[in-house]
């Protein structure tokens, strides 16, 4: 089972424009789509489509339209009492697939909401194979909150995946290895925010991306899955590094593609696949999502893992970590 935490959920409103976006112009929309969203919610949605049991934890009223929409899709929900209304995120998609996002910040969190989320997550995680912490944090949340939640889960039976950005991502990376995520999923820009590398170089050079990601593995991440847009993705762990090239796709919306990729990786792990084939599934799912409107998640029949080319990258394995040093690091968290 996969448990997802979406601390800052959203209603995702996607407007498909009939022409290129023109600032200050009058534009026509071919369609408008609104869906309950958020990165963790998206992962629960694609898991449910694949027949993988999933529980979604998020702040929303149990009888809200947000919760009702997800439950109508067969998703098991664990909503907790929110502090305010769910935010609305706006996405504009152009005919060539160019995507422009306008995200609102969401309702302010307080310590009571954060504790309710942690309690609900802890109960659900006790029987989970994977816990996914995904998306932004609501205003008022300490930037180190994901790091604290991940560290608290480090000794649980569940593997932990994290997909976030900005200060919460930096705070988690700074606290390696105490946070011990089984996998981190940054894009090129997010990875470079941690490592200081040039995003343009990393996004265009899979070996550069893998080299940067390997630093996070050396610091204590189990694996790093870096999505590179049209260039595919790289996967790095202590023993290996791989690059996957996606099959051709007519891009409709890139919103949710990274979430779908992370699910593909987790699905590969649940199936006992080796790293190369986990990466293959990740890119197949991400590519399929990019060809669908809004934040629509793909079903297994819409993915094409056999069309994803995976090649090894020439990185030397990292040395086996010293168990005594690792225990000391966990016992004495970094500041």
Please provide the DSSP assignment of 84-102 as one string. SPPEEEEEEE-TT--EEEE
Place of tokens 């940054």: 186
Q: What is the mean pLDDT of the chain?
A: 92
Distance CA(74)–CA(239), nearest Å, equals 38
- What six digits make up the tokens of 274? 């080796």
3-state SS string for 126-192: CCCCEEEEECCCCCCCCCCHHHHHHHHHCCCCCEEEEECCHHHHHHHHHCCCCCCCCEECCEHHHHH
Phi-psi region of 127 (alpha: psi -120 to 50; beta: other; left: phi over 0): alpha
- Categorize the per-residue pLDDT at 303 as very low, low, confident or very high, splitting at 50, 70 and 90: very high
Whole-model pTM? 0.89
- Give the pLDDT confidence of 163-184 residue by residue, as tens digits: 999 999 999 999 999 998 999 9
Res 81: pLDDT:
96
Q: Which of 230, 240, 321 has the alpha carbon at shortest distance from 278?
A: 240
Q: Which CATH number fits domain 2-15+33-324: 2.40.50.140, 3.20.20.220, 3.40.1190.20, 3.40.50.510?
A: 3.40.1190.20
With a cut of 50, say whether residue 146 has pLDDT above it.
Answer: yes
With a cut of 70, say whether residue 324 has pLDDT above it.
Answer: no
- Categorize the per-residue pLDDT at 333 as very low, low, confident or very high, splitting at 50, 70 and 90: very low
Q: Which of 82, 81, 133, 88 has the alpha carbon at shortest distance from 108?
A: 82
Where are the domains positioned within the chain?
A: 2-15+33-324
- Give the pLDDT confidence of 118-135 residue by residue, as tens digits: 999 999 998 999 999 999
- Give the pLDDT confidence of 22-78 residue by residue, as tens digits: 989 999 999 988 889 899 999 999 999 999 999 999 999 999 999 999 999 999 999
Chain-centre distance of CA 17, in angstroms? 26
Q: Which of 102, 70, 77, 100 has the alpha carbon at shortest distance from 87?
A: 102
- Categorize the per-residue pLDDT at 335 as very low, low, confident or very high, splitting at 50, 70 and 90: very low
């Amino acid at each position: 089972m996969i448990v997802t935490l979406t601390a800052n959920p959203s209603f995702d409103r996607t407007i498909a424009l009939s022409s290129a976006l023109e600032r200050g112009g009058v534009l026509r929309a071919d369609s408008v789509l609104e869906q309950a969203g958020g990165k963790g919610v998206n992962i629960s949605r694609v898991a449910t489509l694949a027949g993988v049991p999933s529980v979604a934890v998020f702040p929303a009223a149990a009888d809200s339209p947000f919760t009702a929409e997800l439950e109508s899709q067969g998703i098991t929900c664990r909503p907790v009492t929110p502090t305010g209304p769910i935010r609305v995120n706006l996405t504009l998609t152009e005919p060539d697939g160019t995507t422009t996002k306008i995200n609102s910040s969401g309702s302010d969190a307080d310590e009571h909401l954060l504790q309710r989320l942690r309690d609900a997550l802890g109960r659900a995680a006790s029987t989970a194979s994977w816990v996914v912490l995904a998306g932004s944090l609501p205003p008022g949340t300490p930037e180190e909150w994901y790091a604290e939640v991940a560290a608290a889960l480090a000794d649980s039976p569940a593997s932990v995946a994290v997909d976030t950005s900005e200060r919460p991502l930096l705070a988690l990376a700074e606290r390696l290895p105490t946070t011990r995520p089984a996998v981190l999923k940054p894009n090129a820009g997010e990875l470079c925010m941690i490592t200081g590398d040039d995003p343009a170089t990393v996004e265009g050079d899979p070996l550069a991306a893998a080299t940067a990601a390997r630093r996070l593995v050396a610091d204590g991440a189990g694996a790093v899955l870096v999505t590179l847009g049209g260039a595919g993705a790289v996967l790095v762990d202590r023993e290996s590094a791989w690059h996957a090239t996606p099959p051709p796709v007519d891009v409709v919306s890139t919103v949710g593609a990274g979430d779908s990729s992370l699910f593909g990786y987790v699905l590969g792990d649940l199936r006992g696949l080796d790293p190369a084939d986990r990466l293959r599934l990740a890119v197949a799912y991400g590519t399929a999502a990019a060809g669908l409107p809004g934040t629509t998640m793909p079903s297994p029949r819409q993915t094409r893992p056999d069309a994803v080319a995976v090649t090894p990258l020439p990185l030397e394995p990292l040395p086996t970590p010293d168990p005594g040093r690792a225990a000391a690091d966990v016992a004495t968290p970094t500041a």
